[in-house]
Structure 1
């Protein structure tokens, strides 16, 4: 009997410790988690996107015209006890994708690891960048179809409590040549 009481007390103490220790994770009170005050201040860069938005995603066709917009749900939350951000998209065609976003103090940059159900991979593509003024701009090296060196640039902009916009563009190394290939407009659901 003493052993059962001891185990019960140990379980209770570890549960209380875990709740206090991980108080910034998603919970009933905070379904999308909370930013950890010990995280880099840049954790607030994504604050306006935390939650769920209904979005319209539009990609460019091979002929240069745009496809019809596709419905998409985009959900953002704080993870790793409020020290990182995760997002997940659920698309009308049944495909899904997401990212893990961590700010690394040593390089003063966000690193975004992207994954997708359409293109499973053993190594995730990584974008890196920062918030500049009122936009979050991320880059990944990528050659154009003609072999020109450049980047695939992702930009979040018009971020507010009611939603945000996103655009994916190929840019040359000087960013003087810009070719948009994907755009998303989002409206806050909750």
Structure 2
């Protein structure tokens, strides 16, 4: 009797600890699930969750556009469905990713970027929100000539079929924009 009570308590402890992580990636939900206790803004990325086949094109130092590179962009819910992580796997071997958390105090996204091409001691961070169907993120950045401005990253044409992304340097008024990277994605699932 005593042994069966100990076993029952042990099994209850194991299963209840697993159930507290219901929103993590699993066999049934390989990209995790949105946790309803998380900020509703996590749903900004709901059409991006999963995998997309993409084409990435960036500016070369001479200002011309490079040849398009094939890329897989994978998105999932992390931290038990309270944040979003993405990673890119590029055919050229330069991979990158981000961790995306919505800050309920500042009412904005905090996006922390990392890359295999340049390992940094601190991660670059963009901030922003979804507006008019686009997710727009900013980071202070000077132009090569020293002009104050932003690195602006925009997800647009977002649907269950895919999305587009553009990275641009913009001046503080956002009247001058210089695109430096663009990506087009189609859902692979």
TM-score range, shorter chain: over 0.9
Partner residue in 2 for 1:112: 111
Could you tell me how far apart the structure 1 residues matched to 2:60 and 2:143 are? Answer: 15
Residue aligning to 2:140: 141
Q: Tell whether 2:35 aligns with 1:36.
A: yes
Distance 2:145 2:39 in 1: 40
Query: Matches of 1:97 and 1:45 in 2, distance apart?
Result: 21
Measured in 2, the distance between the counterparts of 1:14 and 1:156 equals: 43
1:103 aligns with 2:102: yes
CA distance in 2, matches of 1:156, 1:188: 14
Deviations 1:34-56 (A, max 9, x none): 10001111010000000000100
Cα distance in structure 2, aligned partners of 1:136 and 1:171: 16
Q: Which range moved further: 169-178 or 90-99?
A: 90-99
- Alignment TM-score, normalising by the size of structure 2: 0.95
Structure 1 alignment gaps of length 5 or more? none
SS at the partner of 2:28? Answer: coil
Gaps of 5+ in 2: none
* Alpha-carbon displacement from aligned partner over 1:122-143 (angstroms, at most 9, x marks no partner): 1100000000010000000000
**Do the aligned partners of residues 11 and 87 (structure 1) sit closer, same or farther apart at CA in structure 2, a change above 3 Å counting?**
farther
Moved more, 142-151 or 62-71: 62-71
Aligned to 2:13: 14
> 1:58: which partner in 2?
57
Partner residue, 2:167: 168
Which residue number in structure 2 is paired with residue 158 of structure 1? 157
User: 1: distance between equivalents of 2:155 and 2:145?
Assistant: 27
3-state DSSP of counterpart to 2:47: helix
How many pairs does the alignment contain?
189
Q: For 1:175 and 1:118, locate their aligned partners in 2 and report how far apart those are by CA, in whole Å.
A: 29
Q: What TM-score comes out, normalization by structure 1 length?
A: 0.95
In the other structure, the counterpart of 1:76 is 75
Q: SS in structure 2 opposite 1:139? A: strand
